[in-house]
Amino acid sequence: MIKRYLHIDDWRIIEKGFHPDKQRASESIFALGNGRMGQRGHFEETYSSDSLQGSYLAGISFLDRTKVGWWKNGYPKFFARVPNAPDWSSIRLRLIDEELDLAVWDVDSYERTLDMKNGVATRVMEVTSPKGHQLHITIHHVLHMMEPDLCMIRMEVESINYTGKVSLIPYLNADVTHETSNYNEPMWNILRTEALVDHAYLWVQTRRERTQVCMSMGYEATCNGKPIPGGIQIEKEKQVGFSTGEYVKPGERIVLTKYAVITSSLYGHRTNLVDSSVAKLKKLMARGWDDLLHEHARYWSRIWYDTDVVIEGDPEAQQGIRFNIFQLHQSYQGRDSRLNIGAKGFTGEKYGGNTFWNTELCCLPYFMLSSRQYIAKNLLLYREQHLAKAISNAQTLGFKDGAALYPMVTINGEECHNEWEVTFEEVHRNSIIAYAIIQYVDTVGDTDYLLPEGFRVLVAICRFWAQRVSWADRHQKYMILGVTGPNEYENNVDNNWYTNFSAKQILLRTVSLLQEAAKNSPEAYESLCLETNYKSEEGEKWQYIADHMYEPYDKEWDIYLQQDGYQNKIMQTVDEIPEEELPINQHWSWDRILRSCFIKQSDVLLGMYLYREHFDLETVRRHYEFYAPKTVHESSLSLFVHCIIAARIGKIDEAYKHFMHATRLDLDDYNQEVHDGLHVTSMPGSWLALVHGFAGMHVRNRQLCFEPVLPSHWKKTQFTVNYLEHTLRVTISQKQMSFELLDSDPIRVYVNNQEVNCIKGEVATVDY
Amino acid sequence: MIKRYLHIDDWRIIEKGFHPDKQRASESIFALGNGRMGQRGHFEETYSSDSLQGSYLAGISFLDRTKVGWWKNGYPKFFARVPNAPDWSSIRLRLIDEELDLAVWDVDSYERTLDMKNGVATRVMEVTSPKGHQLHITIHHVLHMMEPDLCMIRMEVESINYTGKVSLIPYLNADVTHETSNYNEPMWNILRTEALVDHAYLWVQTRRERTQVCMSMGYEATCNGKPIPGGIQIEKEKQVGFSTGEYVKPGERIVLTKYAVITSSLYGHRTNLVDSSVAKLKKLMARGWDDLLHEHARYWSRIWYDTDVVIEGDPEAQQGIRFNIFQLHQSYQGRDSRLNIGAKGFTGEKYGGNTFWNTELCCLPYFMLSSRQYIAKNLLLYREQHLAKAISNAQTLGFKDGAALYPMVTINGEECHNEWEVTFEEVHRNSIIAYAIIQYVDTVGDTDYLLPEGFRVLVAICRFWAQRVSWADRHQKYMILGVTGPNEYENNVDNNWYTNFSAKQILLRTVSLLQEAAKNSPEAYESLCLETNYKSEEGEKWQYIADHMYEPYDKEWDIYLQQDGYQNKIMQTVDEIPEEELPINQHWSWDRILRSCFIKQSDVLLGMYLYREHFDLETVRRHYEFYAPKTVHESSLSLFVHCIIAARIGKIDEAYKHFMHATRLDLDDYNQEVHDGLHVTSMPGSWLALVHGFAGMHVRNRQLCFEPVLPSHWKKTQFTVNYLEHTLRVTISQKQMSFELLDSDPIRVYVNNQEVNCIKGEVATVDY
């Protein structure tokens, strides 16, 4: 049973009353970001109780020395992680001899809100100090979407019964720690701190990587609407800022607005990092709070215009899916191909800000189908830029001739994981990176991307597979030995079905795309062949391998097997596990998990989702019924796939259960781990679940098809989707489905095989 | 090709000329120990170049916090390791303004000798200081076997051309580091250091475990035979000792004898640790160098009387096997069942002084067959004392009802390893611990040991196997899924043949021994049943499991398989690996090793060695021919097994190659790793290889049988072996074999099926 402390609302996340026991969880939930940077919802003011202060800058990493029990050849020497950055949001609030601290003061009323429509986090509270002084405080917190170097906070303090001086101390704070570093090494060197009359700055550099960051800040303060003059500069070794304030009587009110601009050597020259940061600060401050806030909200409204999902009749689902969309767009704007999305976005230290295959499995399809085209393309370019490192990584592991193995976990293209069964063996990641390219070309229609960027990656990945397979003479088949599949609850297996099948499909599609390219763009194709040393015989070899790929299959059950030998396990179902032993990864020893039949996520169902066209309904049903009862869903990537498959085979109730689990995973903290951060990169899974699952959207023979199945209590759902040059606003109610074409040429779609012609300006409606 | 820098000699290891590039290797080779303590052959005097100073005290450990990349449930929180102890052997040598340091001084001549017959390490050298002062120095170093708290050093310094003061500074030095600690934490707290008129002491305590150690020292110094009076006390925070010396002219000679006594709270009360240490020091010093040295040599001569192996016609083999015997007896005396043998003995930090299954596989059979009975028994008691911890370990992993899983790596009975594929999965270790008990009872005839000690362990291990197997319905067999076999180059496999087969044999023999006990000792048996809650139905279940144990077998090859799926690998032979890629564990990534057909050691051959009676010659030959070419022997446990099997099937040349590799593994530094320490616990493998291999000794129907096959250039080999109540001195020449019964009743043995009657006082000789 879910015990919920947050309130349901269509557009807002609301915490009513202060929940100090949930502070770390709330810090994750109320995290803010703008793609360039982000931070957990730790308090601006001093808070002396449990909290994980965390501010993170995209693309800026610290190289932590790898820590393992037993070294294996090929492990990376350093483990890049996004370090906790100096905190730009700190504002202390002092009375004469007391300082605001919710761990010490009485919290008489408290409401914390995340306004997802406008991208603002707000706290409104009444507090009483130990000496009985009562204040009413409101804090608005914004990380600006349009000006991603800017963050701003407005703090309003009204005295209820207090007479005396209120001091507000806005500052930049480099006295922060990173909880999970390997050797407790400092991650930042401080180059300079300086407080001048109207601004202060903190100039720092990451150790080892030596990326420089300058944070500059200024503020405005008023008392009862009148500017407060003066203000004292504060300059310590690791902190810099100002102290301002005024004497107040009950009913009087101080408002402090703090602006901070963060620039880094990623986006500017080191030589004038400080100057440009301060110049930008001044320019933005001149525009003022209202104008900046308005621009920020307008940016969000554009995002929502593209991406909003309406679910009528299910406020919990409605809130959940908007939360997921909101958090994803906070984590990634898609403007800079050097960046990607950390598994926890900017919401925690866990996974070190690193990128996993979640990006290609969940985020990229979401962006491609819902958002502007450049976002998905920049995600592809990210991997394309890392190709040389992926080739070098494969070389380290003994591959040759330009074969590439992409890292399982990375920031900068280098492998950042060090568990051999993952680092070296979870090689299926290569396929989803290739799949993303192919899916992008198929869905967006941007075939230009293939020559040469896309093919560079596809060829290198096919070369990996062609070397990674091994010929099993007795079977007259190619096998892939010694892998870990997406189901990480089985390591070093032979012939994980998903790995084999997806490698086969990637080989086949690459060969066929190359053949098309040779025909359609012979010159560019020739130049690609020269560049990559590709010859058509190599493609023939790939075709041969694909045609002879072994797929573990059990005749008696008529089931594709997780891997060789799966049928020898004792078959059980998850409901046989005592509830107190769930999740098993927190209660069972690793060997027990491995030798059980229980799977973290179903690899076969994943394959049937990604390669839908290869599997008929009956096959899918049989496999769902076989694998679903054995799946513990201890991966956040499991649920949306199960939802989509369950919806396809008409198990709406199960689909809905998976959907809600996926959609409110963090809001309802199913796994008791939201304090570590949000599952940002699996959040778009809920969007995919709705669109591919309940709307049944898929492509068949290059035609967009829908097979809607709505949960019975939903009145309506609406979403917007891109396909080729088209953008469609799709609405589904219990019996009807309608399409509004937002731009471009007419398109014909199918609803349960009914043809629907969509023309701009008309709403096409069909019964289903 | 072996490049050898040590000289061949029957009874000595000799380094002629100083080899600073081999210093760490020499420190391992010239290491000394006496079972209670030991130390690497680092220099007594200051040496400012590369060196691994290491002194270790048996049974005294530091609990280092576990360091892993990704935590798994069940990992031990602490990793016990024998910490580098304060050094009791330091003696600085100073001239007026120079100090002896072989890294700086010219070494004009240098001979380092390890006299294995008498257990003395000696350096004789002529050195020239930077200022041209020449000295002749001799140093004898002894760790006393009879008085295992005592170590002593005699340093003789003769001036060749120097006139002036020679100072000798014998001291105890706690300013030492441990190279491979996890978090660079200090391992020792210093409780007190004190230098008095005639002795000094250092009183320390290990952090966390809080074992106390007191080292006390005294010295005698003479110049030209006359005692040197005076001597200055030196007392620093971490060092304590004396400075003595005299003015010398060319030809004059100073002799310093240093005595140190090390006592610990393992063997004495904390309250009078210092007093008892000092008292013992004084008592022993009163006896003087000559008497103590004589007693030490006499002790060694007793060991050699029992254990010496003669190999005539092969001085390299002769030296190697004596070195192995010498090092093993230095590492373990078998008097204290709380102690065991670290994988590197006292010769280095690697493996942290921990005990592996090598003890039961190699050391215990050697001691049992060659030495006094109490030694093997104490090794069994060691495990028996850890039974409760092994049961608790199994519980942590989800086993119940008194099932035990012994640790893979331990000092104190708790698991000290943290690689899931070993810690949780290399469960075959349980079988060798049971096997050792059974072998002990069969070979020594001490059936009393079974009731109750032996059975306690056997029952708990059988319970583990009975829970660890899983019923594979389709095969109607019990399988053992998710294990790592002795061949650690394959992880998380199903049905490692050795694991399954040995579990089956342990179950069968335990059931049959229990049935015998029920018949022969009904009272003791009843009491065992009460104590362990064992009922005969449980034994019936074990019998059923054993009768239905699955053994992976390939029909086409007629071969037992390493594990399920082994036949799907690409079959290659080791000679296809380019030489520069060997050893593969230093050149290949882990996944490449795992998915190759190459094995670290052959598990099937190991099973056929341990359970010889189950396999006919033809089967053994077939399996040797199949597995040997795929074996890279990157485990020190591999070679002796291959030697024994090769000898059995008449491949003498191969057997000899394996034998020499096993026998001179460290002396010739095959794996370029002797700098880390010696493979102490696999050293007795060479003895087993000779006795079970070339002598072909085995037991058939409780009769001792021999099938000798001597390398063609060997003139003769001789060894002594125990069987039941008998001790036989066995001599084998190219055509003849003879037996001298050293005590007890007559015994009949068989040489290639010829009956030989051995009677005390007669030498029975047969042609073969």
Q: What CATH number corresponds to the domain at position A288? A: 2.70.98.40
pTM of the model: 0.94
The verdict on B680 and B704 lying in the same domain is no
Mark yes or no for CB contact A592/B419 under 8 Å: no
Chain A residue nearest residue B481, CA to CA: A595
The verdict on B704 and B763 lying in the same domain is yes
Number of domains forming the structure of chain A: 2
Answer with the residue of higher pLDDT: B74 or A462.
A462
Q: Residue A475: list chain B partners with CB under 8 A.
A: 568
The verdict on B586 and B532 lying in the same domain is no
The verdict on B713 and B629 lying in the same domain is no
Please name every residue paired with B710 in a beta bridge, in sequence order, or none if there are none. Answer: none
Mark yes or no for CB contact A591/B420 under 8 Å: yes
CA A188/CA A205 separation, integer angstroms: 6
> In this structure, what CATH number is given to the domain that contains residue B731?
2.60.420.10
Closest chain B C-alpha to A358 CA, distance in angstroms: 20
The verdict on B520 and B657 lying in the same domain is no
| Residue A479 falls inside a structural domain | yes
The verdict on A292 and A415 lying in the same domain is no
Q: Residue A66: list chain B partners with CB under 8 A.
A: 69
CA B648/CA B617 separation, integer angstroms: 8
User: Hey, of A422, A468, A477, A492, which one would you mutate to test binding to chain B, going by the most B CBs within 10 A of its CB?
Assistant: A492
Q: Closest to B398 (Cβ–Cβ): which among A425, A492, A592?
A: A592
Q: Closest to B68 (Cβ–Cβ): which among A69, A72, A397?
A: A69
> Which residues of A are catalytic, by number?
488
The verdict on A242 and A121 lying in the same domain is yes
Q: Residue A354: list chain B partners with CB under 8 A.
A: none
pLDDT digits (tens, 9 = 90+) for B543-562: 999 999 999 999 999 999 99
pLDDT digits (tens, 9 = 90+) for A326-359: 999 999 999 999 999 999 999 999 999 999 999 9
Q: How confident is the model at residue A761 (pLDDT cuts 50, 70, 90)?
A: confident
The verdict on B345 and B397 lying in the same domain is no
Closest chain B C-alpha to A416 CA, distance in angstroms: 11
| Residue A451 falls inside a structural domain | yes
Q: Which one of A306, A328, A350 terminates a domain?
A: A306
pLDDT digits (tens, 9 = 90+) for B290-340: 999 999 999 999 999 999 999 999 999 999 999 999 999 999 999 999 999
| Residue B135 falls inside a structural domain | yes
Mark yes or no for CB contact A494/B66 under 8 Å: no
Mark yes or no for CB contact A481/B569 under 8 Å: yes
| Residue A523 falls inside a structural domain | yes
Look at residue B230 in the predicted model and tell me its pLDDT: 84
The verdict on A432 and A523 lying in the same domain is yes
Q: Residue A216: pLDDT above 60? A: yes
Helix, strand, coil tally for chain A in percent (to 5): 35, 25, 40
Show the domain range for B644. Answer: 313-356+556-694
Active site residue B453: no
Mark yes or no for CB contact A74/B589 under 8 Å: yes
- In this structure, how many other beta carbons lie within 10 angstroms of the beta carbon of residue A725? 12
Q: Residue B590: list chain A partners with CB under 8 A.
A: 72-74, 420, 424
| Residue B306 falls inside a structural domain | no
- DSSP H helices, B15-61, are 23-29
| Residue B303 falls inside a structural domain | no
The verdict on A433 and A293 lying in the same domain is no
Q: Residue A67: list chain B partners with CB under 8 A.
A: 67-69
pLDDT digits (tens, 9 = 90+) for B12-31: 999 999 999 999 999 999 99
Give residue A486's identity as a one-letter amino acid code.
P
Distances (CA, A) of A402 to A357, A392, A451, A533, A595: 21, 8, 17, 9, 36
**Percent of the residues in chain B that have a pLDDT greater than 70, as a whole number:** 100
Torsion angle (degrees, nearest 10) of CA B569, B572, B573, B578: -120
Residues A715, A719, A724: CA angle, nearest 5 degrees: 145
Of the listed B27, B209, B425, B488, which one is catalytic? B488
The verdict on B687 and B704 lying in the same domain is no
Q: Residue A733: pLDDT above 90? A: yes
- In this structure, how many other beta carbons lie within 10 angstroms of the beta carbon of residue B763? 12
Mark yes or no for CB contact A569/B595 under 8 Å: no
| Residue B752 falls inside a structural domain | yes
Q: Which one of B506, B521, B551 terminates a domain?
A: B551
Q: Closest to B570 (Cβ–Cβ): which among A69, A74, A470?
A: A470
CA B619/CA A551 separation, integer angstroms: 34
Q: Closest to A425 (Cβ–Cβ): which among B66, B588, B591?
A: B591
Residue B703 CA to its chain's centroid (Å): 29
User: Hey, of B393, B589, B596, which one would you mutate to test binding to chain A, going by the most A CBs within 10 A of its CB?
Assistant: B589
Task: State the count of interchain CB pairs (< 8 A) between A and B.
Answer: 126
CA A350/CA A658 separation, integer angstroms: 24
Look at residue B278 in the predicted model and tell me its pLDDT: 97
Q: Residue B531: pLDDT above 80? A: yes
Q: Residue A2: pLDDT above 70? A: no
Q: Which one of A551, A577, A611 terminates a domain?
A: A551
Chain A residue nearest residue B586, CA to CA: A73
Chain A residue nearest residue B74, CA to CA: A589
The SS3 assignment for A474 reads coil
| Residue A686 falls inside a structural domain | no
The verdict on B348 and B219 lying in the same domain is no
> In this structure, what CATH number is given to the domain that contains residue A482?
1.50.10.10
**Percent of the residues in chain B that have a pLDDT greater than 90, as a whole number:** 94
pLDDT digits (tens, 9 = 90+) for B458-475: 999 999 999 999 999 999
Q: How confident is the model at residue A374 (pLDDT cuts 50, 70, 90)?
A: very high
Distances (CA, A) of B29 to A231, B314, B349: 73, 21, 14
Look at residue A208 in the predicted model and tell me its pLDDT: 86
CA B417/CA B679 separation, integer angstroms: 18
pLDDT digits (tens, 9 = 90+) for B102-138: 999 999 999 999 999 999 999 999 999 999 999 999 9
Mark yes or no for CB contact B470/A595 under 8 Å: yes
